[in-house]
Amino acid sequence: MIQVGIIGGAGYTAGELVRLLINHPHAEINFVYSTSNAGNKISKIHQDLIGSLELEFTDTINPEVDVLFLCLGHGNSVKFLSENTFSNTTKIIDLGNDFRLEKDKVFQDKTFVYGLPELQKEAIKSANYIANPGCFATAIQLALLPLASEGLINSDVHINAVTGATGAGTSLSATTHYTWRDNNFSYYKPFTHQHLGEINQSVKQLQNAFDSEILFMPNRGNFSRGIFATLYTDFQGSLEGAKNLYKEFYKDAEFTFVSEDELHLKQVVNTNKCLIHLHKHGDKLLVTSVIDNLLKGASGQAIQNMNLMFGMEETEGLHLKATYF
């Protein structure tokens, strides 16, 4: 069994990792590190785990684990790895944004590979260090990459996406207070969301000459889980051509599927799937992409990357029952 360590154990993504790993056939949780909760049962914080897990949080690290998941606030992975040393056989998957950009990917003697399997599965298989993509970045890239792969993004891309409140993390805040968010809607960081960096980087990786603008409006929805993203850009080809392009691009993808029907968010909640739908209006191609922000957008994709890095079936531990309702 692969021995797993989790750093930053009290947050949402760590909780999701624990939920996935307790049912993973080839991995085992070795420790869950949380200094503020050390000595408490994990099920005191992740309270659905009563009856499933007796393990306690620890403030002691086992530097010999096979794989380490970093579930820390953005910027804190660098800090953590500077202050702690692990075996050089320990693989690391960082769920933060510290190592996602080319300019940040080398740290100490480690080179982080951007962990979007639909973009570069082979590179992930041979990587020891993974920068796990951001949630919005995952949904949006999966909607854009097939176009980029054929050099077809030649005008501005207009994106509108809405995320659930788990996207804002566990910290209490005005915009995650129930009475505020219930039955409410709002945007934030218009056109300047931090995920634009990794999105642009991947698009250029596939379409070197890309020089249009990606205009991204992120919104806060009144639900807890999921991302619903739509984008459109000029596209001269036919709808059938677009469908063929996307289906071909995702023919080996284990979790990303093209739907003939219009989509709604709950189709993917509590799964590791991404569903894509295509629609043509005049010379615009409209692409819809839905994911669960905590799974395909974070912890599920991290497990998918772990599976690939250890030569396991990509879907191991990720055959999840959708909530749907």
The nearest distance, CB 13 to a second copy, in angstroms, is 11
Tokens at 4, concatenated: 């797993």
Candidates 60-68, 81-89, 118-126, 158-166 — which segment interacts with a second copy by CB under 8 A?
158-166
b/e string for 249-285 if b means 16 or more Cβ within 10 A?
bbeebbbbbbeeeebebbbbbbbbbbbbbbebeeeeb
The one among 40, 186, 208, 238 contacting a second copy by CB under 8 A: 186
Burial profile 208-226: b = 16 or more Cβ within 10 angstroms, e = fewer: eebeeebebebebbebebb
d(CA 131, CA 145): 18
Is residue 211 part of the contact set for a second copy (CB under 8 A)?
Answer: no
Q: Is residue 34 at the binding interface for a second copy, with CB under 8 A as the rule?
A: no
**192 lies in the binding site for a second copy (CB under 8 A):** yes
Positions marked catalytic: 135
CB of 208 to a second copy, least distance (A): 24
Among the candidate windows 27-35, 68-76, 105-113, 164-172, which touches a second copy by CB under 8 A?
164-172
Q: Which of residues 266-295 bind a second copy (CB under 8 A)?
A: 266-271, 273, 275, 279, 281-282, 284, 286, 288, 294
Nearer to a second copy among residue 89 and residue 324 (C-beta)? 324
Q: Which residues contact 109 (CB under 8 A, 6 or more apart)?
A: none
Question: Does 195 engage in binding with a second copy (CB under 8 A)?
Answer: no
Interaction between residue 140 and a second copy (CB under 8 A): no
CB-based contact 49:80 (threshold 8 Å)? no
Q: Which CB sits closer to a second copy, 105 or 158?
A: 158
The nearest distance, CB 247 to a second copy, in angstroms, is 12
Residue 39, CA distances (Å) to 8, 33, 295, 321 in order: 14, 10, 27, 31
Does residue 85 interact with a second copy by CB under 8 A? no
Q: Round to whole Å and give the CA distance between 72 and 14.
A: 9
Pick the binder of a second copy from 83, 211, 261, 311 (CB under 8 A). Answer: 261
Give the shortest CB-86-to-a second copy separation in angstroms. 28
Site mask for a second copy (CB under 8 A), range 43-82, x = bound = -x-xxxxxx-------------------------------
Q: Which of residues 104-133 bind a second copy (CB under 8 A)?
A: none
Q: Is 36 in the site for a second copy (CB under 8 A)?
A: no
CA atoms within a 13 Å half-sphere pointing along the CA-CB vector of 232? 9
Among 194, 263, 310, 312, the residue binding a second copy under the rule CB under 8 A is: 263
Total number of residues that touch a second copy (CB under 8 A) = 80
Which own/partner pairs from 118-125 qualify as long-range (CB within 8 Å, at least 24 positions apart)? 118/142, 118/145, 118/249, 118/250, 118/253, 118/256, 119/145, 119/202, 119/205, 119/206, 121/252, 121/308, 121/314, 124/305, 124/308, 124/309, 125/308, 125/309, 125/311
CB of 267 to a second copy, least distance (A): 5
Nearer to a second copy by Cβ, of 68 and 253: the residue is 253
**CB of 72 within 8 A of CB of 80?**
yes
Instruction: Scan residues 213-252 and list those touching a second copy (CB under 8 A).
Output: 215, 217, 221-226, 228, 230, 232
Contact between 7 and 83 (Cβ < 8 Å): no
